[in-house]
Structure 1
Amino acid sequence: MSIAAYPKYESYKDTSIKWSPEIPQHWGIMPLKFMARMKSGDTITAEQFTSDGFPVYGGNGFRGFTDRKTHTGKFVLIGRQGALCGNVNYAHDDFFATEHAIVVSPKRPIETIWLGEAIRCAGFNQLSQSAAQPGISTEVIGNQRFPFPPLPEQRAIAAFLDNKCAKIDQAVRIKEAQIKLLRERRQILIQQAVTRGLNPDAPMKDSGIDWIGKIPAHWKVWRSKFLFKQSKELARKNDIQLSATQSFGVISQEKFESLVGRRVVKISTNLDKRKHVELNDFVISMRSFQGGLERAYSTGCIRSSYVILRPAPEVNPDFFGYLLKTPRYIHALQITGNFIRDGQDLTFENFADVDLYVPPYQEQAEIADHIKHSCDRIDDAIKIKQNQIAKLKEYKTTLINAAVTGKIKVS
């Protein structure tokens, strides 16, 4: 149901409140400090957390358990410090509130959910007093003016939002589950295509390699060090700086910045020690033991600690771009040594310990093309679901704001 379809109150009045410029004529207006007391919680050390007991709430919600409580009842909690200052959560029954949470204790009869959602709409994060270490004070937020509907209407608004938001949240969960299934389907499709090829009737053979298992009979098994040579060539004079990413491969830092929407600090020292990377090289980065090897989509230079792999002519970079990021291959890399436990980087020797299989070059290209087109369709379906989720969340935010500020009448 669209917001415009809901009934409105008969008359409204101006408030001079930025986030709620007009409210129903019969509603009151008062500073938050006249509605409630606001006080930060208590300090808790890491040693005071327990495996069970009273729940502990900080500025961003639940943090664990401890053996003592600070409050009993149902309260609004406001994040006091950090990137999420102004964040709103709820706590109820017996609980412990940390110093990073401001506990809002009503001075008069107030519906907790209405109050919490009104505070959320007020956007207290915009009242932060420091850019370096964001934080809000109880004095500043206490002076903020709020609309104040009669208690029966507060309760009606809370009940309305509880019902509507539960339905929206359920719809979001369903779509998130659908996205998860699509991603699983995508991974299964890649795994099947790169290990069995496109012909389901192709005769199979045992590869003789544990992690590989059976492969089409005409495919070959190679030692990795014969398929890829380690390149230690230093950066060339005009090389651009590259970023090795799990999501996008090895790309220019400018492209990475445009994709993620944030700046990347460029290295200005020891440039002479960086390594040269060619288009379609593969890179072993610090995260390769988690997400596989990264394919280079640009020529440039990269940090000296990374391992550069130059492919042999038998390697189709599109095919191996999928193969070297499959979960089975990553697991095979992980069991080649103790580098994860010991905090060491994945080396060329680890890579060389894992044998690879090689279909004929043309078949590699056909498999990669099939995967790309199939994954593109799945990715398009995922984007549709993600857009639907974004619209549902936007609608939920708009609905909450409309209800708590009286733009719509729900009682």
Structure 2
Amino acid sequence: MTIAAYPKHESYTDCGIDWIGEVPSTWSIEPGRQCLYESKEKNIGMKESTVLSLSYGRVIVKDEDKLTGLVPESFETYQVVQPGDIIIRGTDLQNDMTSLRTGLARDTGIITSAYINLRPKADIDPKFLHYLLHSYDVKKVFYALGSGLRQNLSYEDFKYLRLPIPTPQEQRAIAAFLDGKCATIDEAVRIKEEQIRLLAERRQILIQQAVTRGLSADAPMKDSGIDWIGQIPAHWEMKRLKDVSRSVKTGRTPPSSSAMDYFEGGTIPWYTPGDVQDGGVFDASEKRLSPSAISHGHVDMFPENCIFFIGIGGTLGKANISRVPASCNQQFNVIEPNKDIVPDWLLVWLNVSRDVVFNQTDYTTMPIMNQAKTKRIPLPVPSLGEQEEILRTLRDRGAKINAAIALKESQITALREYKTSLINAAVTGKIKVL
């Protein structure tokens, strides 16, 4: 049901709040202090032990196993939260314009005193107020509160915040209406997210089977000699990465010097792990080198269709191919394929086997895959013609799956936008639910 199809109130009046415009004539505009107050009850004597947190617009119970990092010596400094309280994260406004800053508490517990705890007054329905402040949050109203270069919000900012308020009966009706509609929308989103997960899993299985078993289900098979690879077509060969590479080198970073800035006026892509794309092909590099970095011998230039394989850190094993000559930093091992392998075959194999490669890496603090270990990575190698045939098939089938995923993602975006619009329409009286 479109928002335009919902019934409207009999008459409206300008509320004086620019982004809201008109509200029903029966509603009033109240300052925040008439609707809510700040609760600052400290957890003296550890009366409560359930630790809460504000996450993605929801007040959640923190897992005790995850109470690490900046944990206070005593939770007595935390503030007590009751169901129906509205938690506001009012810090770091100038640096974070995307996070949701409000959430409705549904559990009794404690939360850091860095947050503002707003408690609705007796004639204000907590859920209605939550939806209303959520709408203010989404509209980024909070960022205009205060004066000057304000970095934080305080209760003082909410005392004078003008709010459209219907009767208590209508507040409850709006809250119940939105609870039902939002639950339906959230379930639809959950189903589509699960469908996306299954499509992505299907795509991964398709790739895994194609690069280890080929396209013919009737092909004679043989043991690959590698437990995690299993059987491969009998006419394929098992090789090590060094057997299909002209070279495996590690990237470099040019020296910093006041006399020479090797990135000034740069034209040569210089990749870092932050440039790596999920699709396997570099799009662009954030930084570009000047030719002098190459001519002075500070970095290497790698030819087109080299594979850039992350050799350190949490994204170890993730690989991208560069369609143009490029350079990179020392976090990559760069593989130049030889004539016995199609570069994209090697790319697909490295990304398929990434989890296994990562788990087999020995490390204490940070996983590292050096050149020697990279050269020993095993891979099945069919003929060049069969490599090309399999890659074509994967591109065709993958494109269909990717299109299905893109459709689901666009549907999720539309559902979330509709949910936001519906909440805003209900709490500002643009639609009538009672």
Taking structure 1 as reference, are residues 369 and 166 closer, same or farther at Cα in structure 2, changes over 3 Å only? Answer: same
Post-superposition shift, 1:62? 2.6
Bigger shift: residues 120-129 or 208-217: 120-129
1:103 aligns with 2:117: yes
Post-superposition shift, 1:351? 1.4
Bigger shift: residues 191-200 or 56-65: 56-65
Q: Which runs of 5+ in 2 are unaligned?
A: 65-74, 255-261
Write the mapping of 1:2-401 to structure 2, written as runs, cut at 5 A: 2-38=2-38, 53-58=49-54, 61-62=59-60, 64=62, 70-82=80-92, 83=96, 87-123=101-137, 124-127=141-144, 134-228=151-245, 229-231=247-249, 239-244=268-273, 245-249=276-280, 251=282, 255=284, 264=286, 271=293, 273-285=298-310, 286=312, 290-326=316-352, 329-339=353-363, 341-401=364-424
Aligned to 1:167, the other structure's residue is in SS state: helix
Aligned match of 2:67: none
Contact 2:333/2:371, CA 8 A, preserved across alignment: yes
Taking structure 1 as reference, are residues 240 and 296 closer, same or farther at Cα in structure 2, changes over 3 Å only? Answer: closer
Q: Which runs of 5+ in 1 are unaligned?
A: 257-263
Taking structure 1 as reference, are residues 335 and 396 closer, same or farther at Cα in structure 2, changes over 3 Å only? Answer: closer
Post-superposition shift, 1:377? 0.3
Post-superposition shift, 1:343? 1.5
Bigger shift: residues 241-250 or 396-405: 241-250
Taking structure 1 as reference, are residues 233 and 29 closer, same or farther at Cα in structure 2, changes over 3 Å only? Answer: closer
Post-superposition shift, 1:179? 0.6
Post-superposition shift, 1:204? 0.4
Contact 2:313/2:366, CA 8 A, preserved across alignment: no
d(CA) in 2 for partners of 1:109, 1:309: 68
d(CA) in 2 for partners of 1:95, 1:63: 8
Aligned to 2:413, the other structure's residue is in SS state: helix
d(CA) in 2 for partners of 1:63, 1:267: 48
Q: Deviations over 1:221-280 (max 9, x none)?
A: 11221212214687999633334415144636xx36xxxxxxx46689x95533322211
d(CA) in 2 for partners of 1:116, 1:223: 59
* Matched letter for residue 8 of structure 2: K
Q: Deviations over 1:292-336 (max 9, x none)?
A: 33222322211134221111101111222211111xx22442354
Q: Calculate the aligned-residue CA RMSD, in Å.
A: 3.1
Aligned to 2:368, the other structure's residue is in SS state: coil
**Runs of at least 4 residues off by over 4 Å:** 39-44, 65-69, 128-134, 232-238, 264-268, 287-291
TM-score by length of 2: 0.81
Contact 1:13/1:23, CA 8 A, preserved across alignment: yes
Identity over aligned residues, as a percent? Answer: 34
Contact 1:336/1:350, CA 8 A, preserved across alignment: no
Aligned to 2:84, the other structure's residue is in SS state: strand
Post-superposition shift, 1:290? 4.4
Contact 1:57/1:95, CA 8 A, preserved across alignment: no
Post-superposition shift, 1:101? 2.1
Contact 1:204/1:214, CA 8 A, preserved across alignment: yes
d(CA) in 1 for partners of 2:120, 2:376: 65
Aligned residues: 392
